[in-house]
């Protein structure tokens, strides 16, 4: 009961904060971020009684205050900053964020165990995902068309699973993640050339709003 009263008080405080700052002429997006994130952080602390609860609450509050567009923009910006010196390509696809992980640098040839040299970029991705908890994550494995279809399909699933397991080991909630293995079915370049086949061998992480 005490916890419920605290939560109600914080929600009221958040609405008052937003109303007051809006009348003082602050930008709506800034107001939404500050009010939502601040109250969300307090709610997370009240509910979780720990720092992790605070951070999750801040993420939830920020989405409520900003809407998906600005929430997505902030994630995209941070992901690009974290991954600028890696081979991960970050693109804003409008309704979602797409991360392209080249297969040649993520996995050994015909393998699905993540190379240790790619631990750091994946850890950075996990860190950002943990800061923005109001998202769902789709991980898809893709291959070129060399070899048997069934082999490529199985390999693509295993690679997607390896990435999902790594992110989960770094604190990303497994219930946010789904995986798919498309084998050679979704090429982004021609399989007629070595360069094209290299582009098709990839894992993609797509980040959508949770709702």
Residue ranges, the chain, pLDDT below 70 = 1-66
Please tell me the predicted confidence (pLDDT) of residue 117: 93
Q: How many CB atoms lie within 10 A of CB 204?
A: 21
pLDDT at 15: 44
C-alpha distance across the termini of the chain, in Å = 29
Q: What confidence score (pLDDT) does residue 5 get?
A: 46
- What is the domain-level CATH number for residue 193? 3.30.1330.60
3-state secondary structure the chain: CHHHHHHHHHHHHHHHHHHHHHHCCCCHHHHHHHHHHHHHHHHHHHHHCCHHHHHHHHHHHHHHHHCHHHHHHHHHHHHHHHHCCCCCEEEECCCCEEEEEEHHHHCCCCCCCCCHHHHHHHHHHHHHHHHCCCEEEEEEEECCCCCCHHHHHHHHHHHHHHHHHHHHHCCCCHHHEEEEECCCCCCCCCCCCHHHHHHHCEEEEEEEECC
Q: What is the pLDDT of residue 68?
A: 86
Listed residues 39, 66, 93: the one ending a domain: 66
d(CA 38, CA 184): 45
Residue 38: per-residue pLDDT: 45
Residues 45 and 94 in one domain: no
By residue range, what is the domain housing residue 98?
A: 70-209
**134 in the same domain as 44:** no
Q: What total of structural domains would you count in the chain?
A: 2
Same domain for 125 and 89: yes
Other C-beta atoms closer than 10 Å to the C-beta of 192 total: 9
Is residue 204 domain-shared with residue 111, that is, in the same domain?
Answer: yes
Same domain, 7 and 89: no
pLDDT given for residue 43 in this prediction: 45
* 181 and 101 in a common domain: yes
* Domain stops at, among 66, 93, 116: 66
Give the pLDDT of residue 211. Answer: 77
Q: Are residues 8 and 52 in the same domain?
A: yes
Q: Are 136 and 194 part of one and the same domain?
A: yes
Do residues 94 and 29 both lie within one domain?
no
- The per-residue pLDDT for range 19-39, each reduced to its tens digit, is 444 444 434 443 444 444 444
| pLDDT, position 11 | 42
């Amino acid at each position: 009961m005490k916890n419920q009263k605290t939560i109600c008080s914080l929600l009221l405080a958040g609405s008052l904060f937003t109303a007051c700052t809006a009348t003082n002429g602050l930008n709506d997006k800034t107001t939404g971020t500050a009010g939502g994130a601040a109250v969300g952080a307090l709610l997370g602390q009240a509910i979780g009684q720990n720092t992790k609860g605070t951070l999750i609450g801040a993420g939830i509050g920020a989405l409520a205050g900003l809407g998906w567009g600005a929430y997505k923009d902030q994630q995209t910006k941070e992901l690009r900053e974290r991954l600028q010196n890696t081979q991960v390509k970050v693109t804003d696809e409008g309704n979602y964020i797409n991360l392209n992980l080249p297969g040649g640098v993520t996995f050994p040839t015909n393998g699905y165990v993540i190379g240790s040299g790619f631990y750091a970029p994946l850890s950075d991705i996990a860190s950002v995902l943990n800061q923005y908890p109001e998202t769902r994550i789709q991980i898809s494995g893709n291959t070129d068309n060399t070899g048997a279809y069934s082999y490529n399909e199985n390999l693509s699933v295993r690679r997607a699973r390896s990435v999902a397991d790594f992110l989960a080991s770094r604190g990303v909630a497994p219930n946010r993640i789904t995986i798919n293995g498309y084998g050679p079915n979704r090429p982004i370049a021609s399989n007629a050339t070595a360069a094209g086949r290299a582009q098709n061998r990839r894992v993609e992480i797509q980040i959508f709003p949770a709702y």
